A and B are shown apart, each in its own frame.
Chain A
Amino acid sequence: MANLAYIVVIAAGAYTYAVLTIGPDTGNGGFQHYILGYQLPFFAAVIAAAAVGAGVGVLIGVTGLKRIRQDYQAMVMLVISIMAATVIGAAPSFLGGEPGISLVPNPFSNLSAVTGAWAYVAMVAFACLIGYLVLRKFTGGPMGRALRAMRDDEHAAAAMGFSVVRMRLLTQAVGGAFGGVSGALLVAFIGGWSPGAWAYVETLALLTAVIVGGMGNDFGVTLGTFVIAVLLLQGVQFLPQIRSHTGLTEALGWMVLGLLTIGFLWFRPQGVFRERRPKYRLRPDPTGDPSSGALAGRRG
């Protein structure tokens, strides 16, 4: 099932990182208000963001446990996403309200702007690599097989002895932890976070990345994320602005995104890189009895 509230776990991670590193809200003249306000080291805050992301992910997953049709579940997710942003925006002393939290510290603030930015790029690239390797444990091998089976047919999976509840919450927790870390890394770089940064449409951008790249194909999804989320949505700000229509280039980015979603769902629903499954081979038995062959699996 598509989790249309995924941006909420990213937001949870970002807020967690912010309030755990920024220091008390009496600083800077007390112009913003938020809870906690600790000054934890970078990595401690990122780990906390992962934990909070996992917890929020599980909470969101619980709402999907009710046996309702999957299209209704998608609506529930979307509503959760909108509600969360509205609630946070309406509570000014909880997480900064509508204006949000700014001046979130960057771990490389002691370096020069350019060096610090590149150091950050290197760190995020490393985090992506580690994340990819960890995720492979869930998407590949027998675990990936079981999760894909559950995706294809939950009832049949339950008939095969799988606890659908447990596996769903596991995926929500893992996905939530990844989202939490990504939110923390994002907010530590951009320095500020507010409900406007995590509107529900952001989830749709991520979903487009998955659809275009190829659902169920790790490489495809990675590439889709890079092309859609990075080049298309962030890249447009480097295009020349049309003076008479400020914001038009950003809007064009979103329009292209929408067209891509529709276009792929119509003409290539499997995405650029289709889901691939390992091929298994029946190796003939040396004794010559083909019915008791030794077996070898081969990745296809």
Chain B
Amino acid sequence: MSAAPEDAPGSGRIAAPITAVESTESAGGPLLRLTDLVRQYGGVKAVDGVSFEIQPRTITGIIGPNGAGKSTVLTVASGFMPPTSGHIEFDGRDVTGLPMHRRARLGMVRTFQIARVFEGLTAIENLMVAVPQQRSLTLKGLVVGRRYWRSEEEEIQERAWQLMKTFGMADKANEKAGRLSGGQRRAVEIMRALMMRPKLLLVDEPMAGLNPKLTRELEEVLMTLREQGLSVLIIEHELDTVERICSEVLVMAWGKVIARGQMAELRTRREVQDAYVVG
């Protein structure tokens, strides 16, 4: 996917603070803990005994060659697919058996490698729908009607507008998402995830297809959000991005984590270079 430079969510305002994040209150422990995670496809172990932790208010990167199992880790962690074996703890709670929508409600929200928007809805509706436990979706909301949920709906709309403005996409708000460009869809997907006020954002190559200016703006957004209490697990090919925003980086190859540390240091490590060359 590629996005033309002008097709932008970019207006230079992307770095403005976003209010939509809850601070994490997990009592000192890690926010996410994966233990001996294994995921098999047929006879192939796409993920082969991965263990790591993510601390609150950090941005953790996963890098590695194609087929290393990066996306599978994220997919299994988010609950999209069950692990073959291993455990996943989120915010002090074992979530291994929980379906994806339950994990999302706990505050672990993912985006997809290829942005998935609700094409029949407008851009701003894509954001407004991403509040699953809204009053309007309850039985009482259906029976009593608008007066039961109007004020909440207005609050949701206000937050959606704030995000749209922050990402410089307010003029696209009423455009059907199916008509947006690749870069704009990606922005919609990330804004939609932020509407849920996540504690942990799992993002799979969010910079792919974005132009360099936009990439830098998205980096700024992620770092701003981290300061407001968000944690991010990011799969990214662009190592400069990883170096700028990630406090810790995991290197994966052949389904395993082969190295971890800070990007600047990892660049010099032999096994990392080998993995990229051989893998």
Contacts and interface: CB of A to CB of B under 8 A. Distances in A.
A143 B116 contact: no
A200 to B, nearest CB: 27
A148 B99 contact: no
Contacts, number: 124
B80 interface: yes
A137 interface: yes
Nearest to B145: A137
Given A159-B109, A163-B101, A295 B121 contact: no
Interface stretch (A52-60, A175-183, A272-280): A272-280
B129 A149 contact: yes
Most buried by B among A141, A158, A300: A158
A10 B146 CA distance: 31
Given A280-B124, A282-B173, A297-B157, A153 B118 contact: yes
B149 interface: yes
Interface string B182-218: 0000000100110010000000000000000000000
Contacts of A141: 136, 146
Interface in B160-183: 161-162, 165, 170, 173-174, 176
B124 A160 contact: no
Contacts of A278: 125
Q: How large is the interface on B (under 10, 10 to 19, 20 to 34, 35 or more residues)?
A: 35 or more
Interface in A77-116: none
B132 A162 contact: yes
B10 to A, nearest CB: 17
B149 A161 contact: no
Interface in A119-149: 137-138, 141-143, 145-146, 148-149
A214 B106 CA distance: 38
Contact of B105 (A138, A151, A161, A293): A161
A24 to B, nearest CB: 39
Given A145-B125, A160-B104, A280 B173 contact: yes
A163 B99 CA distance: 9
A155 to B, nearest CB: 7
A277 B161 contact: no
A277 B134 contact: no
Pairs of residues from A and B, 10 with the lowest C-beta to C-beta distance, nearest first: A161-B132, A142-B136, A161-B104, A156-B116, A152-B118, A149-B118, A161-B105, A160-B130, A149-B129, A158-B101
Given A143-B142, A156-B112, 6 more contacts: A138-B142, A142-B149, A143-B141, A156-B117, A161-B109, A295-B154
30 contacts: A138-B142, A143-B136, A143-B141, A143-B142, A148-B118, A149-B118, A151-B120, A152-B120, A153-B118, A156-B116, A156-B189, A158-B101, A159-B80, A159-B109, A159-B110, A159-B111, A159-B193, A160-B104, A160-B109, A160-B192, A161-B102, A161-B130, A163-B101, A275-B120, A277-B125, A279-B122, A280-B173, A282-B161, A291-B165, A294-B158
